[in-house]
Structure 1
Amino acid sequence: MLKALPLNRRGIPSSRIALGCMGLGGGWDREPVTASNMKQGHEALDAALSIGINFFDHADIYTRGKAEKVFGQIFKERPGLRGDILLQSKCGIKLMEPGDISNSFDLSREHILSSVDGTLARLGTEYIDILLLHRPDPLMDPEEVAEALHQLKASGKVRHFGVSNMSAAQIQLLQTYCDEPFIVNQLHMSLSRISWVDAVLSVNRDPWKDITFPEGTMEYCRAGNIQLQAWGPLAQGLFSGRPLEGQPENVVNTAAMVRRLADEKATTPEAIVLAWLMTHPAAIQPVIGTVNPQRIAACAGADQLELSRKEWYELYVTSRGEKLP
């Protein structure tokens, strides 16, 4: 049986799977939201609700704010919906503008506060259930962050806080100054992005290939009842129907194994890929990034599957393409 989410243990009634909304709103341009964009939003929302998803993940930058605008318009058209769902958004990334050489990160007090105000205006809501700090900012002053989060909590604009793409040490630094607990860490984890498992097994060994996941992050989050969320959990369809021409042998073999398990368990490849994450005892919450209603529906039942230890390890070893010691 799958373990309860840390969010649930904190009294937050979240579904086991979340829907990531980065694909809503059209392109990453400054064109207005269209009727077609709104139709897509309604259909994705309905597909998610139909399989029990009540948790929706946004960011201020997604399609340059248009993803949040789509949801804001949906709330206007469907009164009462806001109270039935959980909204998470993120701040801290500044998209490249003309004259800039790159995107940049900004966790200054002023940027956090202005970003949240923008998100609330686009969503047309008075509060965000959870706000994540989107990326580590090398120039971050944790005391400034603490001031911003305190102000957001006191004003009722944000109920809970978390981070994204951060290590245990980075969370610890923030928590030293912040009174409010960080209850989420959203990380890139999937059957194709397995460095979070490799990091556990690489202790006291020569570094394995592709070890970029900070050692101790999984353990820190589990010990602190911090919800681990996985972004990109479907691996962009790599194991559930995407063409595999030119892909390496380990990817082709993993896709074949996923299909075999799906057939044996009378389910979909998407459900197997998600079940591999959710079988882990850390109670990982996948944040699926598709807004295609058919692919959302294909994730139904993933939270009812639990792979055997043998199946879990076979998928992991096949994906990494290298035997364990």
Structure 2
Amino acid sequence: MKTIKLGNSTLDVPVVAVGCMRINSLGKAEAARFVNTALEEGANFFEHADIYGGGACEEIFADAIQMNDDTREKIILQSKCGIRKGMFDFSKEHILASVDGILKRLRTDYLDALLLHRPDALVEPEEVAEAFDILEHSGKVRHFGVSNQNPMQIQLLKKYVKQPIVANQLQLSITNATMITNGFNVNMENDSAVNRDGSVLDYCRLNDITIQPWSPFQYGFFEGVFLGSDKFPELNKAIDTIADKYGVSNTTIAVAWLLRHPARMQPVIGTMNIERLKDCCKASDIQLTREEWYGILRAAGNVLP
């Protein structure tokens, strides 16, 4: 598995992150097989959030991997906090309490990375800075990032937070690629020219923030998977043709499309299927040509001006 640096840190991470949001759908033996397969594939970066399964997913993962000191040093753990029932909460008290809960459920003393989940409209960045300082100085969190934030939201945090923001987790897939496609349509009078995210892709590249695409196979907002969907015949034909060329699955090509972008992204895959997991990991070895990458982009319905 190829690796990249997480943001501007010295931490080497695999180019594919294993999302554990659905690990509570597996039985105990299945969960153990899944995490062990991920490790065999070199995918030792496991991504969590305190709300996944109400916290149960972190507990199930710790049991599945048989967490101990030796195992802990072989894996990279990231989790997120900030979502509460009916609200978002970036208060100092909530961040600190959330991390303590995460560490207890994962049965570890530290997180390699903590992300703030969704932007809190009532955020007081001074409080976030205090929380991050406490977590860093106590050794509970080694790196910090955000999720679903635009450039100005990140800039507001950076005014007070001393630690580098190493990651920004954003929805991105072949069919949800406006952060890429609006760059083609600068100063044009069409819907594709609308800048809905503050040029977050360029901002993250300029500031050495690793983009972690979530839902890399979804279209819309959890409306379904585009692979094999009757709604995207041209896209699936293009992907299948390229998959046949490389002797891999369509899943592999969908992930390889994201990895081909020079932003050096780290897609977060959410499958709990072992064969699909292996297919995702194979994307690390595929380097799509410029023609193939653009061909897939156009087949998804994106028109080049």
- Superposition TM-score tier, normalisation by shorter sequence: over 0.9
Counterparts of 2:241 and 2:226, CA distance in 1: 11
Question: Shift in Å at residue 142 of structure 1?
Answer: 0.5
1:323–1:76: structure 2 CA closer, same or farther, 3 Å change rule? closer
Residues 1:230 and 2:213 aligned together: yes
For 2:16, give the aligned amino acid.
I
Aligned to 1:29: none
Alignment of 1:233-248 (within 5 A): 233-235=216-218, 238-241=225-228, 244-245=229-230, 247=231
Residues 1:43 and 2:43 aligned together: no
Aligned to 2:100: 117
Q: Secondary structure at the match of 1:89?
A: strand
Kindly indicate whether the alpha-carbon contact (under 8 Å) linking 2:227 and 2:251 is maintained by their aligned counterparts in 1: yes
Alignment of 1:185-196 (within 5 A): 185-196=168-179
Kindly indicate whether the alpha-carbon contact (under 8 Å) linking 1:58 and 1:90 is maintained by their aligned counterparts in 2: yes
Aligned to 1:133: 116
Aligned to 1:284: 265
RMSD over equivalenced CA pairs, Å: 2.0
The C-alpha deviation readout for 1:143-189, integer Å capped at 9, x for no partner, is: 11111111111111100000000011111110110011110011111
**TM-score between the two structures when normalised by the length of structure 2:** 0.92
For 2:19, give the aligned amino acid.
G
Aligned to 2:60: 70
Aligned to 2:159: 176
For 2:167, give the aligned amino acid.
V
Question: Shift in Å at residue 93 of structure 1?
Answer: 0.4
For 1:259, give the aligned amino acid.
D
Residues 1:22 and 2:3 aligned together: no
For 1:67, give the aligned amino acid.
C
Aligned to 2:241: 260
**TM-score between the two structures when normalised by the length of structure 1:** 0.87
For 2:13, give the aligned amino acid.
S
Aligned to 1:87: 77
Kindly indicate whether the alpha-carbon contact (under 8 Å) linking 2:146 and 2:167 is maintained by their aligned counterparts in 1: yes
Aligned to 1:99: none
Extract unaligned runs of 5+ from structure 1.
Answer: 27-35, 96-102
1:324–1:239: structure 2 CA closer, same or farther, 3 Å change rule? same
Residues 1:13 and 2:1 aligned together: no
Aligned to 1:31: none
1:322–1:13: structure 2 CA closer, same or farther, 3 Å change rule? closer
Kindly indicate whether the alpha-carbon contact (under 8 Å) linking 1:48 and 1:296 is maintained by their aligned counterparts in 2: yes
Counterparts of 2:199 and 2:302, CA distance in 1: 23
Alignment of 1:199-238 (within 5 A): 199-209=182-192, 213-235=196-218, 238=225
Extract unaligned runs of 5+ from structure 2.
Answer: none
Counterparts of 1:49 and 1:11, CA distance in 2: 21
1:108–1:79: structure 2 CA closer, same or farther, 3 Å change rule? closer
Aligned to 1:100: none
For 1:314, give the aligned amino acid.
G
Counterparts of 2:68 and 2:240, CA distance in 1: 38
2:286 to 305, 313, 319: 305
For 1:233, give the aligned amino acid.
P
Point out the more displaced range, 124-133 or 77-86: 77-86
Aligned to 2:50: 60
Counterparts of 1:185 and 1:50, CA distance in 2: 27
Counterparts of 1:186 and 1:69, CA distance in 2: 23
Kindly indicate whether the alpha-carbon contact (under 8 Å) linking 1:199 and 1:215 is maintained by their aligned counterparts in 2: no
Counterparts of 1:204 and 1:11, CA distance in 2: 38
Q: Secondary structure at the match of 1:25?
A: helix
